[in-house]
């Protein structure tokens, strides 16, 4: 049975299962960051992308591009432009429980446009995150 890879603090790292080797392998890209391409169909855009910058600190911070969540959004793109790892989750996210997004990585979340839930981030210190919402 393959074992999930974890960092020194015991937190799972971004990884994928390689059927050829029957093992999990860490996703790495330039400078150790993950390089992910999302494959699949999005609905056609009905308006221009909404973009913004969010400063994430040691308290859970909601991620949205401009003033408030974009109603009817079907995708949320999160680019960690800082030098620190951020962690994604719900309003109770912590650096121990959140999904890690390494410095320089991008995470794309496909969202049901009929839902209205928040996505939060937290970091150990401070991080600048670029956010794009698509509708």
**Whose structure tokens read 């839930």?**
117
Q: Is 98 left (phi over 0), alpha (psi -120 to 50) or beta?
A: beta
Do the Cβ atoms of 127 and 86 come closer than 8 Å?
yes
| Residue pLDDT tens, the chain, 135 long | 778 888 888 877 777 788 888 888 887 765 555 555 555 555 678 889 999 999 999 999 999 999 999 999 989 999 999 999 999 999 999 999 999 999 999 999 988 888 888 999 999 999 999 999 998
Residue 117 resides in a domain:
yes
Residue 88 resides in a domain:
yes
Residue 120 resides in a domain:
yes
Domain count for the chain: 1
CATH of the domain at 67: 2.60.120.770
Cβ atoms within 10 Å of 75's Cβ, excluding its own: 19
Residue 118 resides in a domain:
yes
Do the Cβ atoms of 89 and 56 come closer than 8 Å?
no
Do the Cβ atoms of 111 and 103 come closer than 8 Å?
no
Cβ atoms within 10 Å of 36's Cβ, excluding its own: 14
Nearest-angstrom CA–CA distance, 120 and 92 = 8
Residue 102 resides in a domain:
yes
Comparing C-alpha atoms, which of 109, 129, 127, 128 is closest to residue 119? 109
Residue 74 resides in a domain:
yes
Residue 21 resides in a domain:
no
- The number of C-alpha atoms within 13 Å of 13 and in the hemisphere containing its C-beta is 17
pTM above 0.75, yes or no: no
Domain assignment of residue 90, given as a range: 33-134
């Amino acid at each position: 049975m393959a074992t999930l890879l974890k960092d020194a603090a015991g937190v799972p790292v971004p990884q994928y299962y390689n059927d050829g080797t029957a093992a999990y392998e860490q996703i790495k890209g330039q400078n150790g960051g993950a390089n992910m391409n999302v494959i699949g169909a999005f609905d056609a855009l009905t308006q221009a992308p909404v973009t913004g910058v969010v400063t994430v600190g040691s308290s859970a911070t909601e991620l949205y591009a401009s003033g408030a969540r974009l109603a009817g959004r079907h995708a949320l793109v999160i680019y960690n432009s800082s030098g620190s790892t951020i962690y994604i989750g719900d309003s109770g996210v912590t650096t121990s429980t959140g999904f890690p997004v390494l410095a320089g990585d991008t995470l794309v979340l496909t969202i049901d446009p009929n839902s209205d839930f928040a996505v939060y981030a937290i970091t150990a210190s401070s991080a600048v995150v670029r956010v794009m919402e698509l509708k």
